[in-house]
A and B are shown apart, each in its own frame.
Chain A
Amino acid sequence: MFIPLLWLLSLLIAPTPAFAQLSAPQFQLNPANSSAPTFTVQGVVINSVTGEPVHAALVQIHFPRQNSLLTAADGKFRFEGIPQGQINLTVRKPGFFSEQELRQGAPYVDHPIQVGPDMPPVILKLVPEGVIYGRATGPDGEPVNNVPVRLLYGALTEGERNWQQRGGGQTNDEGEFRLFGLAPGIYYLIAGPRASPMPPPGRGTDAPPQGYGAAYYGGSSDISSAAPIAITPGKQIRADLSLPSELLHQISGLVVGAPAGMPANVQLFTPDGQAVPVGIRTNPQNGAFTGFVPSGSYVLKANVTGKGGLVGVGSQPLTVTGDTAGIRLDVGPTAILPIAVELRSTRNIQPDPRLNGQQMVSVQLISQGSVTRNIRSSTMEGPPENRSLAIRNVEPGAYRVRIRPFGPWYVESARRGPANLLTDDLSIDAGDLSTPLEIVLRDDLAALAGTVLSRGQPTQGIVILAPDSRAQAPITFVAGPVGKFEKRDLPPGEYRVFALDRVDGLEYSNPEAMRSFSSGAQFVRLAPNGEAAVNLELQTRGE
């Protein structure tokens, strides 16, 4: 057993939300030797779908001391000797998500528990996870074992759906698979291909090996016509897969240009960027590679990793219709897209000269035109005395540019050559990386004040500022207990402003997804150094 030091870190970090919600007097309380009155906190843990009690669930109070217990057979829990004040109760159990986990970082309106006289029992909900299980069979109904099964999951980050590949493992000897721990959402299931570089026994070496091609759930080989699987809490779905039998073709070639002594790793991808799980063997001595793949269109990529990370990359489209030998995969040094940042301070803010103006911003390139998105983030490059911001390993293609300034700055403009990246995609052509990405930051920020109302009464709510600029992420925050908010340091510009009761599972970066709330939205134009005020009617999404 190796004890990672990270464990300690996570222990230290995990309970911080509890600290943050404590006020100073409670912080000093020491119930062990205090005569202050204490109370009993009791309640029940239930399954959010069935309403049934959940036994052996871990309920925890994290402060002032950690107090944990497992619920009884009837789902009930009871903490004695808890001082008056606000507490944070968490609950978890394998097979369930807590409601916090399912928010995926989205803002939410908190309902803290007030400990005191006559407090009602607490009801904590656990959301049962989803499961997709089934069997992979071949054309003759035979079970297909050892075939890789994976999911594409549309995760929401900052209100934007990002399709992520999620490993699922392999089918067992009976062709069965079981993918569990699934959060509610939309999934695509895909299995295969299963290629084996060795011919089966009893066959001559001249016979092409037989394998299984890839198939999405629904029988399609293409995601655009695949059947999505909707997982709701607690849903267990059987999804059997039928894999086509395919001839496998041998592809072989040479990685050219890798630095001496650094072996290249060759991988196959679909044109839309998903890794194809076939083993491609590379000879570390001479860079020769070989593998067996079904017919189709692919992208072959080579990565060369040295001491300091990725040192060389190569990429090349490949259409396989038969055995293909003599493929030449050129590897070059990783391409670097330089970024120039200019600061225009109207408040005479002098940034630390050591920062060279560069570390004031983080830039991400988000690949467009494919299902799964490839995201490249900016890093500091160059020798310590002359650091500059850049993005490494940018492949040709179209990208959306997302820019996040640190501190009280906003993006006035972002250009590359003639392209305005606040409105247009960034297009990178092969071999064209010398033109820098030029970003101008300003500090004449604006402010927005307002109140969230429900039938004329101020109320709590989540405020969303959806900007006009594509380079800027929506801004979300919780309007306090009485519905009032005052937000400073906002980038000037035009916004649609919404107030919702909850935003979990909502694609609020997508104007289409927000269309149904547009009637209650306010349009706000914030001028540099300007201030504006809005009253927002709370729109409810319900359970």
Chain B
Amino acid sequence: MRLSIVRTFALLAAIWPAAAAPQSSANQSAENQSSGESQFRITGTVVDGVTGVPLAKANVFISPMTDRSRRISTSSAAEGRFAFNDLPPGKYVLSGSAKGYPYRMFQQHETFSTGVAVGKDLVSENLVLQLFPLGSISGQVTDEFSDPVRSAQVMLLHSGVNGQGGLRTERQVTTDDQGRYRFAGLQAGRYYIAVSAQPWYAQHNVQTDLVPQSALDASAVSRVQPGLEQNADLDVAYPLTYSPRETDAARATPIALQPGEKATADVNLAPVRALHLRLTAPGIDLSQNVGVQLSESVPGAPPGFGRAQITNLNKDYVDVAGLLPGNFVVNLNLNSNAAPNERQTLRQEITVSRNGEVTLAELNSPVNVAGEVKVSTQTVPLERAGIGIRNRNTGAMFSTAISPDGKFEFRNAPVNAGLYDLTLLGAPGFYVDHVESTGAKTSGRTFEIQGSDAVNLTVYAARGVTQVGGVAQHDGKPVAGAMILLVPQNSTGDPLSLRRDQSDSDGTFMLPQVLPGSYTVVAVENGWDQEWSNPAVIKTWLGLGETIDVSPNAKKTVAVKVQ
């Protein structure tokens, strides 16, 4: 079962540690006692998930899965024991928290947990509710003089997210005057600490092969420009540095944070000579309302921004200094004072390894995408619904609201050429059947923008998404806590197209809001730590899966072998 609001609860637990006072088990209100069916129990022990030590005075909660706002709480007694008596049959979300232990659901993985099924012949007693203490990573950033680096951007990268072993920037903080940073409240996991900073003393206005000394001497006298920096040793930059002093992302050492661990990760920065680029764009006056954006792509790291400065700008060229070798996407935004959809962008991917000149030629202005939504050829108002599109290559996502007359438009959004998947947002019960378009090639729920002409879409939606339920079994016996993965036919490995759930204590699972189509359902024990969206990994699972065809409005039930 999945709880989408689990993050809210976790946040609450973090904010209100003192307020979550233990409550005596006497005030637990048995609900729905009018029924004679109220004869079942949920019992168990709260333990520290690392040491196994029982936790007394922990808060333990259950809520019926059908109405999570009704919450019954109790407090664990000696040896961590807890009991909820006189429960009607049904499925319950079991969770708990204790001092120093954040809120956690029963067998929680990411936002999923094992629901506790209560009823005749179902096991809901002697459960072990594991809670894990939170950890922290803190440290100090220093420079080549062993001085603290203040205002450095410290990124906490979490490894193994989205089932592909990729990195995600979990949080970002800046260092204080002592160069110190701190990330607290961390779950156990593999993390990297990466630091982006500029030498505070850097001077990039130096003579280079792009800027001949003679030209500057003349201009300095005639136009009273600031002097050219004489000390080229200060024309330096810090590369993105992983703790403790690794600049190659591939060789960075992860921090394997254990539950409750307070880890230290200092970072020492070393400057390297910075590079200079001259950007030209024939036929365009660059001195008028031009904005330059350089985003750096580092393999294995989330996209970041290169730190650079404009040192010279006139109608013919823009000089950018302070760069380090790497791969960049240059976006030259023209008439940046204009409305977003009238702006023009020159975009170019470049590899920078030495000083040089880059001619920007590729004109890339945002494409105006608009359209209307039809349900079975009629326009049906979809209240508070929206349209979301996602670029398959870049992962860029945009969303917009559908107006009461069924129209939508991506205003102020830099939608560029590319292949997009389209989905309906906030319209339960509806799904996108297919998309038709003038100005773009379409196929099923995707469309491809090729030029810069406006794209008009007609989205054919249909009523009747369905749900896929079932039971995860091994040798005919239900398996609790298995990862359930719903893989569409011809999966591209896009994590957004894959659906997951966790089997409950009776082995059952339920995926609501499934779009009609062909799928394979797989159940994997301990699948949570694997690269579940890696197509190669998925392929190894498909053989033991169950293939199903989901037609509109049907409820599908399937028994899956656990692998």
- The residues of A with any CB-CB pair to B shorter than 8 Å are 1-3, 5, 7-8, 11-12, 14-15, 19, 27-28, 30, 32, 55-56, 58, 62-70, 93-95, 129, 131, 138, 140, 142, 146, 172-174, 178, 180-181, 196, 198, 200-203, 209-210
Complex contacts, B15 vs chain A, CB 8 Å: 146, 196, 198, 200
A-B contact pairs, 23 of them (CB 8 A): A1-B295, A3-B294, A3-B309, A8-B310, A11-B311, A12-B225, A12-B226, A15-B226, A19-B224, A56-B201, A62-B227, A64-B220, A93-B200, A94-B200, A129-B177, A142-B18, A180-B150, A180-B176, A180-B177, A196-B15, A200-B20, A201-B73, A203-B19
Contact check, B205 vs A11: say whether CB atoms are below 8 A apart: yes
Give the docked Cα–Cα distance between A200 and B20 (Å): 6
- State the total of A-B contacts with C-beta under 8 angstroms: 139
Name the residue among B201, B291, B320 with the largest chain A CB count within 10 angstroms. B201
Complex contacts, A196 vs chain B, CB 8 Å: 15-16
Contact check, B234 vs A68: say whether CB atoms are below 8 A apart: yes
Contact check, A67 vs B309: say whether CB atoms are below 8 A apart: no
Beyond A5-B291, A201-B103, list 16 extra A-B contacts (CB 8 Å): A2-B293, A5-B313, A8-B310, A12-B225, A12-B226, A32-B217, A65-B228, A66-B230, A67-B229, A93-B200, A129-B177, A172-B182, A180-B177, A201-B9, A201-B61, A202-B20
- 7 A-B pairs with least C-beta separation: A1-B305, A200-B16, A65-B227, A180-B177, A200-B19, A173-B184, A66-B227
A175 CB → nearest B CB, Å: 11
* From A28, A69, A172, A198, contact of B231 by CB (8 A): A69
Contact check, A7 vs B293: say whether CB atoms are below 8 A apart: no
Contact check, A68 vs B12: say whether CB atoms are below 8 A apart: no
Complex contacts, B150 vs chain A, CB 8 Å: 94-95, 180
Tell me the B17-41 residues at the A interface (CB within 8 Å).
Answer: 17-21, 23
Contact check, B23 vs A202: say whether CB atoms are below 8 A apart: yes
B479 CB → nearest A CB, Å: 30
B8 CB → nearest A CB, Å: 8
Chain A residue at minimal CB-CB distance from B304 = A1
Chain A residue at minimal CB-CB distance from B60 = A202
Interface flag for B128 (CB, 8 Å): no
Secondary structure of the A contact surface, majority rule = loop
Complex contacts, B184 vs chain A, CB 8 Å: 172-174
Interface flag for B403 (CB, 8 Å): no
Contact check, B309 vs A7: say whether CB atoms are below 8 A apart: yes
Complex contacts, A174 vs chain B, CB 8 Å: 184
* Range for the number of chain B residues in contact with chain A: 35 or more
A31 CB → nearest B CB, Å: 10
Give the docked Cα–Cα distance between A67 and B233 (Å): 11
Give the docked Cα–Cα distance between A157 and B311 (Å): 33
Complex contacts, B234 vs chain A, CB 8 Å: 68-70
A72 CB → nearest B CB, Å: 10
Give the docked Cα–Cα distance between A8 and B225 (Å): 11
Contact check, B306 vs A1: say whether CB atoms are below 8 A apart: yes
Instruction: Given the known inter-chain contacts A7-B309, A173-B184, please indicate yes or no for A200 contacting B293, CB distance below 8 A.
Output: no
Instruction: Given the known inter-chain contacts A138-B18, A140-B18, A172-B184, please indicate yes or no for A58 contacting B230, CB distance below 8 A.
Output: no
Give the docked Cα–Cα distance between A68 and B229 (Å): 7
* From B16, B178, B311, contact of A201 by CB (8 A): B16
Give the docked Cα–Cα distance between A27 and B221 (Å): 8
A205 CB → nearest B CB, Å: 9
Give the docked Cα–Cα distance between A27 and B21 (Å): 75
Contact check, B185 vs A173: say whether CB atoms are below 8 A apart: yes
* From A12, A67, A138, A201, contact of B13 by CB (8 A): A201
Contact check, B293 vs A1: say whether CB atoms are below 8 A apart: yes
Complex contacts, B16 vs chain A, CB 8 Å: 196, 200-201
Contact check, A201 vs B59: say whether CB atoms are below 8 A apart: yes
Contact check, B293 vs A3: say whether CB atoms are below 8 A apart: yes
Contact check, A66 vs B228: say whether CB atoms are below 8 A apart: yes
Complex contacts, B178 vs chain A, CB 8 Å: 178
Contact check, B18 vs A201: say whether CB atoms are below 8 A apart: no
Contact check, B231 vs A68: say whether CB atoms are below 8 A apart: yes
B287 CB → nearest A CB, Å: 10
Interface flags for B216-256 (1: CB within 8 Å of A; 0: not) read 01001100111111110010000000000000000000000
Complex contacts, A69 vs chain B, CB 8 Å: 231, 234
Give the docked Cα–Cα distance between A376 and B17 (Å): 44
A129 CB → nearest B CB, Å: 8
Contact check, A2 vs B200: say whether CB atoms are below 8 A apart: no
Chain B residue at minimal CB-CB distance from A70 = B201
Give the docked Cα–Cα distance between A531 and B228 (Å): 47
Contact check, B227 vs A15: say whether CB atoms are below 8 A apart: yes
Name the residue among A3, A11, A55 with the largest chain B CB count within 10 angstroms. A3
Contact check, B203 vs A5: say whether CB atoms are below 8 A apart: no
Give the docked Cα–Cα distance between A228 and B306 (Å): 43
Contact check, B220 vs A7: say whether CB atoms are below 8 A apart: no
Chain B residue at minimal CB-CB distance from A201 = B12
Complex contacts, B225 vs chain A, CB 8 Å: 12
Contact check, A65 vs B229: say whether CB atoms are below 8 A apart: yes
Tell me the B152-211 residues at the A interface (CB within 8 Å).
Answer: 176-178, 182, 184-185, 200-201, 203, 205
Complex contacts, A64 vs chain B, CB 8 Å: 220, 227
Contact check, B20 vs A3: say whether CB atoms are below 8 A apart: no
Complex contacts, A129 vs chain B, CB 8 Å: 177
Give the docked Cα–Cα distance between A58 and B147 (Å): 13
Give the docked Cα–Cα distance between A57 and B523 (Å): 62
Give the docked Cα–Cα distance between A55 and B308 (Å): 26
Complex contacts, A209 vs chain B, CB 8 Å: 19
Name the residue among B16, B147, B150 with the largest chain A CB count within 10 angstroms. B16
Give the docked Cα–Cα distance between A71 and B309 (Å): 25
Interface flag for B2 (CB, 8 Å): no
Contact check, A30 vs B145: say whether CB atoms are below 8 A apart: no
Tell me the B99-121 residues at the A interface (CB within 8 Å).
Answer: 103
B385 CB → nearest A CB, Å: 16
* From A63, A178, A200, contact of B12 by CB (8 A): A200
Complex contacts, A93 vs chain B, CB 8 Å: 200
Complex contacts, B136 vs chain A, CB 8 Å: 173
Give the docked Cα–Cα distance between A2 and B234 (Å): 22
Complex contacts, A201 vs chain B, CB 8 Å: 9, 12-13, 16, 20, 59, 61, 71, 73, 97, 103
B506 CB → nearest A CB, Å: 26
Instruction: Given the known inter-chain contacts A8-B310, A172-B182, please indicate yes or no for A66 contacting B229, CB distance below 8 A.
Output: yes
Complex contacts, A200 vs chain B, CB 8 Å: 12, 15-16, 19-20
A213 CB → nearest B CB, Å: 15
